[in-house]
């Protein structure tokens, strides 16, 4: 779930059900069950969806990007926090987010209480891996241990606009290197750039990185984390890549920004009917 947040958190699976935010025609947020007619569950546009308990937590585009939650049983919406937020990540009973006004990183409880500033500098993006918060500023990537104190350390001076952490590797988009996809190894501090992979949309699973390659019409490539080899797996113009189990859900920019899906092994993309 966390890895999908960097691409908008617009698709979410809960048990056998999928939730999609329709940004193609801005018609709302939908519940899609296999074999059933799609059902609109909210008129609003839910970004950065996280699920916990009976609720989906999200940033509501149609109400100043305030923090909302949707009860998945009753489909009732409510405002949790009247603060414009993005990049929501629910971790250890707190919701972490970037304030869209001051660009600082905050956290609060799932009911909006105990609002605290976690990082007092402008944050470009962030992720959480195990007990560590990794965040990018305009001139560095930094790490904060969330459980055993908040002492921060500078990891690297790379300027990242997107980042994910997998085990001991940071996968990022390097702004100062023409937005090329880059792997930074934490133990060795070595940096590797994936040749030809220019992107602002990427995601990962256990073995591969998936990216919308701007050097090839934003088509989808799969890259081996182990050896760096790559192959194009989808010829559609794609953005907002969401990896859910063995499928990639994406916005098809050639098809009115509708939702499509393909297998992680590639093949013909199929439209998700909303």
List, for residues 173-222, the tens digit of each pLDDT value.
Answer: 999 999 999 999 999 999 999 999 999 999 999 999 999 999 999 999 99
Distance, first Cα to last Cα, the chain: 21
User: Residue with structure tokens 């405002």?
Assistant: 79
Contact 121, 146 (CB under 8 A): no
Of the pLDDT bands very low, low, confident and very high (cuts 50, 70, 90), residue 25 is very high
Q: Say if residue 152's pLDDT is above 90.
A: no
pLDDT tens-digit series, residues 120-150 = 999 999 999 999 999 999 999 999 999 876 6
User: Residue with structure tokens 């947040």?
Assistant: 5
Query: What is the SS3 assignment for 230?
Result: strand
C-alpha torsion sign, points 165, 171, 177, 180: negative
CA-CA distance, 7 to 161, in Å (whole number)? 12
CA-CA distance, 180 to 165, in Å (whole number)? 17
User: Mean pLDDT, to the nearest integer, of 8-36?
Assistant: 94
Q: Note the pTM of the prediction, 2 decimals.
A: 0.96
pLDDT tens-digit series, residues 158-171 = 999 999 999 999 99
Q: How far is CA 145 from CA 149, 152, 172, 186, 270, in A?
A: 6, 7, 20, 15, 41
Q: Which helix (H) or strand (E) holds 4?
A: helix 2-5
- Give me the domains of the chain, ranges plus CATH numbers: 2-197 (2.120.10.30), 199-274 (2.40.10.480)
Q: What is the predicted pLDDT for the residue at 148?
A: 74
pLDDT tens-digit series, residues 85-121 = 999 999 999 999 999 999 999 999 999 999 999 999 9
């Amino acid at each position: 779930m966390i890895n999908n947040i960097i691409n908008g958190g617009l698709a979410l699976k809960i048990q056998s059900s999928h939730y999609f935010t329709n940004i193609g025609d801005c018609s709302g947020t939908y519940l899609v069950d296999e074999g059933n007619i799609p059902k609109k569950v909210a008129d609003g546009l839910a970004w950065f969806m996280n699920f916990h308990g009976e609720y989906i937590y999200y940033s509501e585009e149609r109400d100043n990007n305030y923090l909302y939650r949707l009860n998945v049983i009753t489909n009732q919406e409510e405002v949790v926090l009247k603060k414009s937020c993005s990049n929501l990540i629910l971790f250890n009973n707190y919701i972490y987010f970037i304030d869209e006004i001051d660009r600082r990183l905050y956290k609060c409880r799932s009911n909006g209480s105990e609002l605290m500033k976690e990082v007092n500098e402008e944050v470009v993006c962030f992720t959480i891996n195990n007990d560590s918060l990794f965040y990018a500023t305009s001139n560095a990537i930094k790490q904060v241990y969330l459980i055993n104190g908040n002492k921060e350390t500078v990891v690297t001076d790379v300027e990242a606009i997107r980042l994910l952490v997998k085990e001991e590797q940071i996968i990022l988009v390097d702004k100062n290197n023409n937005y090329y996809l880059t792997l930074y190894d934490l133990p060795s501090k070595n940096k590797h750039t994936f040749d030809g992979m220019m992107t602002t949309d990427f995601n990962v699973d256990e073995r591969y990185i998936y990216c919308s390659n701007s050097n090839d019409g934003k088509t989808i490539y799969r890259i081996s984390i182990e050896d760096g080899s790559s192959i194009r797996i989808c010829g559609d113009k794609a953005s907002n890549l969401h990896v859910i189990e063995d499928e990639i859900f994406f916005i098809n920019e050639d098809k009115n920004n509708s939702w499509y899906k393909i297998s992680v092994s590639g093949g013909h993309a199929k439209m998700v009917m909303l």
